[in-house]
Structure 1
Amino acid sequence: MSSLSAKYLLCAPLAAQVAYSLAYQEDYSRAFCCLNILIICGLKGLIHVFWSVYNNMLWVSRTLRINPKGVDFKQIDHEWHWDNYILLQAILATMICYMSPPLMMINSTILLAIPLWNTKGLIALLVLHVTFSEPLYYFLHRYVHRKNYLFTNYHSFHHSSPVPNPMTANNATLLESLLLCVVAGVPLIGSCLLGVGSVSLIYGYAIMFDFLRCLGHCNVEIFSHKLFETLPILRYLIYTPTYHSLHHQDMETNFCLFMPIFDVLGNTLNPNSWELQKKIRLAAGEKKRVPEFVFLAHGVDVMSVMHAPFVFRSFGSIPYTMRFFLLPMWPVTFMVMLGMWVRSKTFLFTFYALRNHLCQTWAVPRLGFHYFLPFAKQGINNHIEAAILRADKLGVKVISLAALNKNEALNGGGTLFVNKHPDLRVRVVHGNTLTAAVILNGVPKDVKEVFLIGATSKLGRAIALYLCRRGVRVLMLTLSVERFEKIQKEAPSEFQKYLVQVTKYNSAQHCKSWAPAGTHFHQFVVPPILKFRRNCTYDELAAMRLPKDVQGLGTCEYTMDRGVVHACHAGGLVHMLEGWEHHEVGAIDVDRIDLVWEAAMRHGLSSVSSLTD
């Protein structure tokens, strides 16, 4: 079991105590205490997840982003255990309950007898927060920054995240987390000890504390500048994401917990705090940097949709595999997808930078099975067309179509849109030329005979024509004589003899590629074949590894490894980097396969094959 899930076993004793008390004990005080600790910790975790979802919904928040850079794999790994702070709070709360009988008694009394609401408790909590938590955090925070030893060994860990985001909020060392527990715990415990506690106070403050921490570390400016111009006093009572982001840029300013008034009193207020906030808000309607390359993706199935970076960031940063924790979320995701069905536009999925070129992935709100519904064909093409026209209007140089978005039966590999809009400035690319090149460069040079399945498909045709020119005998599995002869006639007359039609799988029994032990399967047809033979090896679908200088990439493309994209995605990138002016749609130009491959190698892309793993 990975550390990602194993650490949650620390909560198992709490759950066991609840079950045991309810089953065998008459006194439910401990069970009630443990149950509330579990619920509060769960809610605190959800707060971080929901803030992260909003922060990463780029189609909603991109115009209000404070730091335009993306969160990469390095930062995600650095913040992988951000939730340790929540587990620490659960452990401390349990220790207090069990190790101190008086507090246990108070805790039981509070949880079983206190009212749902107590106004006096709210007042007491606010007083304790303002007079204790805020100044204590401010002075400790400033002190740590000004003592090199403390900063280097205990606080630099938090500041090593280059792009603040909700998960950064509680990504800290053990000492910092312990101090934060004191800052957050004293007002709550103090109010309860004064006898003015309430259920809403316990839950509300515990959740609101983390809510405000996430707000400050969010990379999206959510407050309108007009709010602070109308009520200037609010500037000193609540910080903004921009305000706290300045602390990560200029670490000698803006030390407060939530209230900037303490920075004013301590003379550590960054003079640009509200001017920058206003500038970001006013710039929301201005034209942003236009991406030069767009990859138009689509969903595969309901479960894989949850692999999106705006759902579970950590899960999205590793290759997609089916996980049991996703199952309870299937109904919610399905309802969201139904909502996406009625959307009229694609949405911005993710982005990264490649040698100063801004690259984005847009997604059509459709799943794989939609593409095989006859009545959905027109609607899907309308979505793709709208995305192409939008990219053309923005000034995008290349838009590359993913998988089913370029299905031959759907739109002729993109020819439908190019023919309908002959004046397009954006280049429409299916990227399959590089896909063919990846497959062909994985075939050993000394091969004399191959058995080709999917032989009359777009890729199958190109592979057959290319190999026959090398003098390789290609057994093309197809029942259609017409389609076979059409492809055969495309080959130079002296090489047509190398193309042979076969209609049954057993026709390959004398072929040297008849899957003896050690055979490697090169795959290019969706869905890929099952890996059922242990004595053979199987490629994933054709893919390429991006150059190491890619910036801001923090999402794995479906089942691909980190930094690896499908070959058609890479094909669009090569098209953009080379500045080619032609559309790459319809049938693959066999004469360009080597040209595209050489260009990909020249730009630092590399082939991914299990043969070299």
Structure 2
Amino acid sequence: MALPLSTWPWENLGVFKYVLYGPLLAKVIYSREWEDVTRSSWCLHILIICALRGLVHQLWYSYSNMLFLTRDRLICRQGVGFKQIDREWDWDNFLILQAFIASMACYSFPSLANLPLWNSKGYIIALLLHIAVSEPLYYWIHKLLHSDYLFTHYHSLHHASEVPQSFTAGHATLLEHLILSVLIGIPIVGTSMLGFGSTILIYSYVLMFDFLRCLGHSNVEVIPNGIYEAFPLLRYLLYTPTYHSLHHKEMNTNFCLFMPLYDALGNTLNTKSWPLHKEKSSGKNGRIPEFVFLAHVVDMTAALHAPFVLRSFSSTAFRTRFFLIIMWPGSFLVMLVMWVLSKTFLISHYYLRDRLHQTWAVPRFGFQYFLPFATDGINKLIEEAILRADRIGVKVISLAALNKNEALNGGGTLFVKKHPNLKVRVCHGNTLTAAVILHELPHDVKEVFLTGATSKLGRAIALYLCQRKVRVLMLTLSKERFQSIQKEAPKECHSFLVQVTKYQAAQNCKTWIVGKWITHREQSWAPPGTHFHQFVVPSILPFRRDCTYGELAAMKLPDDVQGLGSCEHGPRSSPRMPRWWSDTFP
């Protein structure tokens, strides 16, 4: 049985917990229609403040995970895994709690709901109350929370997160956030009771409080060491992300809220704080990856699935949702900026094992790969990425689906031939993808229809199936390319490779392997009961209700992969690809 104040009252409501904001919203709407608007202004302010506080946490998360900006100043280099993401899923519970507390305070003390817009003297009073009351009180309570009993039953939840993130700042028990609510309220209520309160003061103090909390949990050192060297006293007045990260590693030190002064007075200041801050803020902490995956964005909605956009969204399998429509214009503007700049950006970073595996991305969206005039520009970007990887000492660079398109650059051979002295290995995953497709085929299949047949992936599938005595209808208009593939097969298997030039040729074949995007009209030639296997990007649309559609080829990651917090099109744990291919497929 959970101890009192260790869990949240709305813990079982899931996403419906946001209905708890309903009374505030209803009060705003009701007052605007039937009462004086000023009577409900405090309800509106509470809702706005809650939205802005959530935005502060989100912006800090996005910034700290834009590794093309922050990778050289990271403090903890371990990735954020699914376990931490799930544990912190309801990080914003404290916003609901403090909205309730603020509502009760405004209802009980009407003077708080009718403050002037601005009072400059209030900032001085609030700052003095924060320094003299909130800071030492937090320091004392925080040390108390680290006693055996309270830490085990309350504070350990916050420290369970291995990698500090802005959302970790909000992840704590009900008791801890009740304490934080009091600490936030002391300067606000105290200033208001003395007659110096104002609406802008409340906004600025609460948002700055959250800003500094997120700063400490950001896992990125953003404060230059030169500032502290020029003003040594400042290091006792404002903590750094490095300073707070030491508290999560050595929990008997660095207990302060924002001011290390109280750790110095309480003799709990970690001696590593300043040297480590100097090291992490130098911008020289980057590591050369052993493996780079050169990805690309499929479309503008899929771009919003990047790990640094919305963590909860990117940690689950991608599917179209309503909020993507709202965010689409912003994604479109980003696409235009990337198109204009035409640079190769490191836009995401998957943390695999020891974080020596990285994902870079070419700033091109899926449809741009099919524009004839864009071919040279895309190949130039890919070439720059390969040369950059070669310069910095990357061992292997792998090209994503469209980046190794046969029609684009011959599956990457264009770059290898142009730069024969490359030290970095340029590869792609066609063999593994082909293995996944082949594993999905029924063992008793006798005939398949293959589009994209002369691509490297199609070639591998066709050659393997013909050796299994499976008749392969290869859709291609190029007789020369078909014959070159046919010559690679054993002579006794030549008859199993058949060139076709129209989709009508497959009207009696119920096994389609799609490597080229097909429309509704082209799908209509498939007989009822057809199953569409596919290795095409983007995946084909399921127009036919009398047919079935396979997912894009995927494999289960090894069990020793750690710190991976983003999920693509399939579920997090979907063992579609056992290890049989290593023995049976070349």
Compute the TM-score of the two structures, normalised by the length of structure 2: 0.90
The whole-number CA distance in structure 2 between the counterparts of 1:367 and 1:565 is 29
Cα distance change, pair 380–566 in 1 and its aligned pair in 2 (3 A): farther
Cα distance change, pair 267–206 in 1 and its aligned pair in 2 (3 A): same
Counterpart residue type for residue 60 of structure 2: W
Is residue 87 of structure 2 the alignment partner of residue 107 of structure 1?
no
Q: Do the aligned residues in 2 keep the contact of 1:238 with 1:260 (CA within 8 Å)?
A: yes
Cα-to-partner distance string for 1:492-545 (whole Å, 9 max, x where unaligned): 221111122334444445446497776543212334333345565432111111
Determine helix, strand or coil for the equivalent of 2:472.
strand
Counterpart residue type for residue 521 of structure 1: F
Aligned residue for 1:210? 210
Cα distance change, pair 531–372 in 1 and its aligned pair in 2 (3 A): closer
Aligned residue for 1:550? 561
Counterpart residue type for residue 106 of structure 1: S
Aligned residue for 2:188? 188
Cα distance change, pair 5–325 in 1 and its aligned pair in 2 (3 A): farther
Q: Of the candidates 294, 316, 319, which is equivalent to residue 318 of structure 1?
A: 316
The whole-number CA distance in structure 2 between the counterparts of 1:513 and 1:220 is 51
Q: Once the 2 structures are TM-superposed, how far is the Cα of residue 120 of structure 1 from its aligned partner?
A: 1.4
Determine helix, strand or coil for the equivalent of 2:357.
strand
The whole-number CA distance in structure 1 between the counterparts of 2:13 and 2:503 is 46
**Superposed, which structure 2 residues align to 1:146-185 within 5 Å?**
146=147, 148-185=148-185
Aligned residue for 1:63? 72
Determine helix, strand or coil for the equivalent of 1:185.
helix
Cα distance change, pair 115–495 in 1 and its aligned pair in 2 (3 A): closer
Counterpart residue type for residue 436 of structure 1: A
Determine helix, strand or coil for the equivalent of 2:364.
coil
Cα-to-partner distance string for 1:390-415 (whole Å, 9 max, x where unaligned): 11112111111001111122111101
Q: Once the 2 structures are TM-superposed, how far is the Cα of residue 179 of structure 1 from its aligned partner?
A: 0.8
**Superposed, which structure 2 residues align to 1:59-458 within 5 Å?**
59-98=68-107, 100=108, 103=109, 105-110=110-115, 114-116=116-118, 118-146=119-147, 148-282=148-282, 284-285=283-284, 288-341=286-339, 342-354=341-353, 356=354, 358-458=356-456
The whole-number CA distance in structure 2 between the counterparts of 1:381 and 1:517 is 41
Determine helix, strand or coil for the equivalent of 2:251.
coil
Counterpart residue type for residue 230 of structure 1: A
Cα-to-partner distance string for 1:2-42 (whole Å, 9 max, x where unaligned): 966422222122112111101111x3233201110011111
**Superposed, which structure 2 residues align to 1:454-533 within 5 Å?**
454-511=452-509, 513=511, 520-533=531-544
Q: Do the aligned residues in 2 keep the contact of 1:396 with 1:426 (CA within 8 Å)?
A: yes
- Range 318-327 or range 160-169, more displaced: 318-327
CA-based RMSD of the aligned residues comes to 2.4
Q: Once the 2 structures are TM-superposed, how far is the Cα of residue 87 of structure 1 from its aligned partner?
A: 1.4
Q: Do the aligned residues in 2 keep the contact of 1:64 with 1:221 (CA within 8 Å)?
A: yes
- Range 334-343 or range 167-176, more displaced: 334-343
Q: Do the aligned residues in 1 keep the contact of 2:435 with 2:585 (CA within 8 Å)?
A: no
Q: Once the 2 structures are TM-superposed, how far is the Cα of residue 59 of structure 1 from its aligned partner?
A: 0.8
- Range 192-201 or range 38-47, more displaced: 192-201
- Range 505-514 or range 363-372, more displaced: 505-514
Cα-to-partner distance string for 1:240-276 (whole Å, 9 max, x where unaligned): 1011111101111111111111111111111111111
Cα distance change, pair 439–310 in 1 and its aligned pair in 2 (3 A): same
The whole-number CA distance in structure 2 between the counterparts of 1:222 and 1:509 is 62
Determine helix, strand or coil for the equivalent of 2:293.
strand
Is residue 31 of structure 2 the alignment partner of residue 21 of structure 1?
yes
Cα distance change, pair 512–335 in 1 and its aligned pair in 2 (3 A): closer
Cα-to-partner distance string for 1:123-176 (whole Å, 9 max, x where unaligned): 110111112111111111001102x11111110000000011111111000111
The whole-number CA distance in structure 2 between the counterparts of 1:566 and 1:414 is 27
Q: Do the aligned residues in 2 keep the contact of 1:434 with 1:596 (CA within 8 Å)?
A: no
Q: Once the 2 structures are TM-superposed, how far is the Cα of residue 178 of structure 1 from its aligned partner?
A: 0.8
Aligned residue for 1:603? none
Q: Once the 2 structures are TM-superposed, how far is the Cα of residue 487 of structure 1 from its aligned partner?
A: 2.9
Q: Do the aligned residues in 2 keep the contact of 1:346 with 1:364 (CA within 8 Å)?
A: yes
Q: Percent identity?
A: 61
| Aligned residue pairs, count | 561
Cα-to-partner distance string for 1:23-64 (whole Å, 9 max, x where unaligned): 111x32332011100111111111001100111010111111
Aligned residue for 1:44? 53
Cα distance change, pair 222–380 in 1 and its aligned pair in 2 (3 A): same
